[in-house]
Every structure is written in C-alpha cells, then in structure tokens.
C-alpha cells in the first residue's frame, strides 16, 4: 500500500481538487517539502524535546533521550507550526509560545504512546524496543506520567487560559477514547457514531487542539479559529481511519506491528464494520469469527483479513478517510492564502498516502 490515493483513486483526486490550492498536487505529496516550510522552528522543537526536559536524574534523562531520539513523524508539531504561521499577524512569524505549543503537542502524543504500549503490551515502537519491553511496565507508567507532567509545565508557560482549557480537554478525550475502545472490543454491532467519537478521542482531539491553538495565540477572529479547529478535527479523524486501514493493509516492516493486530485484539474498526453492516454471508462469517474469538488466532485472523480485503472493506474505508481529508481541506477555504495554508492542504493529502 505505497499510496492509497494512487491505487484507488483518480476520482477522489479530482474531487478534492475543487477549490483547494494544493489538491492539484499529483501523486504522493512530499512530507519533507512541508517540513522545509518550518525548518527553523522545527529544529527548536527538536532541541526542546531532546534537552529541555525536567529531571536531574541521569537514568530518567537517558530514558527521555531514548524516547525522543527514536524519532517519530512529528506530524503534530508540523500542524501546529504550519497553522500558526498561516495565521500569524506577520505571516510566517512565530513567537516562543508557538514553539512551546508544538513541543507540548508532541509531548502529549508521546506520553500517550508510552502508556498505550503498556496497555497493548507492545514490544516494538518506531523500530525500537518499547520502554515496557526494555525495562518494565512500572517504568513505562511513570515515564508516561512524566511526559504528561512535562506537557503540563509547557502548558503553564503558554499562560493562555483558553489554550490550557483546550489541552486539558484533549487529555480527558485521549483517556476516554482508549477506554471506549476497550469497552467496544469484540462488538459486532455497527455503530458509526461511536466509531467516529472514539477516533476523535484517541486522535482528532489532539490534532484539533494543535491546529487552532496557534490561531488563538495569534489573536485571530473566531471564524478563523473555528475553521482551523474543523481542519484539525477532520484531519485527525482521517488519520485515525488510515491508521485502522493500515492494520489491514500495511506491511509489518513499515508499520512496525503485525498485520491485523487490532483485529486479533477484537478492536473492530471501519474496514471490518463495512463488511459487518452489509448483512450478507460475509457479514455473518466475520461476525462468527469475532463472536467465537477465532479472530484472536492465526487462522481466524487470516480468514477475517481475507474477507475484509476481498469484499470492499479496504476501498470503502479509503473513501471514508478521503471524505474527512476533503472536509479538512474544505475547512481551509477562508484562511488567507500562503504557502503555509497550502502546506496544511498538502498534509491532508499526505495523510491519505502514508504507509507508517
């Protein structure tokens, strides 16, 4: 699945080309060209992540370094920086507060990954051993807490009560999104509202906070702030749907986790939901595999993956993800033109093509 867009869609590229400055880009959008737009600021963010972390304890410092040197795509800081630059009074000019905002957004994301790995008993992340695998669950719980704490300190430094409120809500959404997912495991009743709501909690809430908080700091109009909030929300939902898709179509080498691992854990997402709601023989068989927990074993998982792949589960999910990418791009239409605005639109197209 090198590029979902290229494989599945001329129609969709046509559709998203309407009224969007960057949707005319053909093929795979380049992420590196987006990072070029914010290169100075991103290196400040990297410096901060790798050095400005609380703690005088050498062991903790080592762990933190390990976490941030392991990399990560830095999509969330990119969203913060692009949207902040697109709405800066003097276009492209940011303050120290915007850098802190980008750092804090990545810290929250990283903290939640460290805890997710404990929750999922994951052993590999970003090509490296997870903290829980290399050390133990105790260290991983505390390191996640420490990263959340570091994020709280960043939030304090921003000194904007509205932004503090937004990020506080994100923290709540992240947890309740995960708990909702946990409670929905092995459920075969299709509930799209619950699925989108869970995706907002797990992913889109933070994307949205990152996409519109910079505009708040820039003193933008409520309309601009709302547009960027919608952009992040839709982009985040799209991102989560693509994540769910990669569980079905991705390669272990690229995603770093076994194909179908969500499915094996009973996490029923869009690709399976499209099959389940069809009401045919495939629906019945997939439901049976889930209900009997056969899906947790190799043979059952393989059969479920084949049913999903061979009956339009993937294509329908791509369409669903694309509809949110389009909504994200559409949300940008009243933002004043700039290379940064174009960058945000390109990012939405990139999210559709990502393989990791």
Q: Which 3 state secondary structure label does DSSP give 26?
A: coil
- Comparing CB distances to its own copies, the nearer of 119 and 294 is 119
- Please state the closest distance from residue 174 (CB atom) to its own copies, in A: 7
Q: How many helices (H) and strands (E) does the chain have?
A: 20, 2
Spell 197-221 as b/e; 16+ CB within 10 A means b. bbbbbbbbbbbbbbbbbbbbbbebe
Integer Cα distance of 79 and 229 in angstroms? 11
Q: Which 3 state secondary structure label does DSSP give 341?
A: helix
Size of the site for its own copies (CB under 8 A): 44
Going from the C-alpha of 150 to that of each of 53, 104, 195, 277, 348, the distances in angstroms are 7, 8, 30, 43, 29
- Comparing CB distances to its own copies, the nearer of 22 and 112 is 112
Options 2-10, 89-97, 145-153, 211-219: segment touching its own copies (CB under 8 A): 145-153
Q: Is 57 in the site for its own copies (CB under 8 A)?
A: yes
Q: Is 115 in the site for its own copies (CB under 8 A)?
A: yes
Options 10-18, 37-45, 73-81, 132-140: segment touching its own copies (CB under 8 A): 132-140
Sign of CA dihedral 148, 110, 215, 224: negative
Of 175, 196, 278, 294, which lies in the binding site for its own copies, with binding defined by CB under 8 A?
175
The token duo for 79 is 């969203």
Q: Is 69 in the site for its own copies (CB under 8 A)?
A: no
- Comparing CB distances to its own copies, the nearer of 86 and 200 is 200
Q: Is 165 in the site for its own copies (CB under 8 A)?
A: yes
Contact residues for its own copies (CB under 8 A)? 54-57, 59-60, 112, 115, 118-119, 137-139, 141-146, 148-150, 152-153, 155-157, 159, 161, 164-165, 167-169, 171-172, 174-176, 178-180, 182-183
């Amino acid at each position: 699945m090198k590029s979902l867009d290229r494989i599945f869609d001329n129609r969709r590229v046509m559709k998203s080309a309407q009224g969007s400055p960057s949707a005319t880009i053909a093929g795979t959008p380049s992420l590196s060209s987006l990072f070029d737009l914010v290169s100075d600021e991103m290196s400040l963010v990297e410096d901060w992540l790798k050095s400005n972390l609380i703690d005088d304890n050498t062991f903790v410092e080592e762990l933190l370094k390990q976490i941030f040197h392991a990399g990560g795509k830095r999509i969330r800081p990119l969203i913060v920086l692009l949207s902040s630059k697109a709405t800066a009074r003097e276009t492209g000019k940011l303050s120290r507060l915007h850098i802190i905002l980008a750092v804090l957004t990545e810290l929250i994301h990283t903290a939640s990954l460290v805890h997710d790995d404990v929750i999922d008993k994951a052993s590999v992340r970003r090509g490296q051993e997870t903290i829980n695998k290399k050390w133990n669950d105790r260290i991983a719980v505390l390191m996640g807490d420490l990263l959340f704490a570091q994020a709280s300190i960043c939030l304090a430094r921003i000194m904007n009560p509205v932004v503090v409120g937004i990020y506080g809500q994100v923290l709540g959404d992240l947890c309740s999104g995960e708990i909702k997912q946990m409670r929905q495991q092995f459920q075969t009743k299709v509930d799209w509202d619950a699925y989108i709501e869970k995706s907002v909690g797990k992913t889109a809430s933070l994307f949205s906070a990152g996409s519109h908080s910079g505009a708040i700091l820039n003193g933008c109009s409520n309309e601009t702030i709302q547009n960027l909030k919608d952009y992040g929300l839709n982009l985040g939902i799209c991102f989560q749907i693509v994540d769910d898709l990669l569980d079905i179509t991705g390669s272990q080498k690229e995603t770093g986790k076994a194909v179908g691992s969500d499915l094996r854990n009973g996490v029923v997402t869009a690709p399976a939901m499209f099959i389940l709601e069809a009401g045919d023989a495939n629906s019945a068989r997939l439901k049976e595999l889930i209900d009997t927990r056969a899906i947790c074993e190799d043979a059952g998982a393989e059969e479920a993956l084949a049913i999903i792949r061979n009956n339009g589960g993937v294509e329908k999910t791509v369409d669903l993800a694309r509809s949110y990418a389009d909504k994200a791009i559409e949300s940008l239409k009243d933002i004043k033109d700039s290379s940064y605005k174009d960058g945000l639109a390109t990012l939405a197209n990139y999210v559709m093509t990502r393989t990791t």
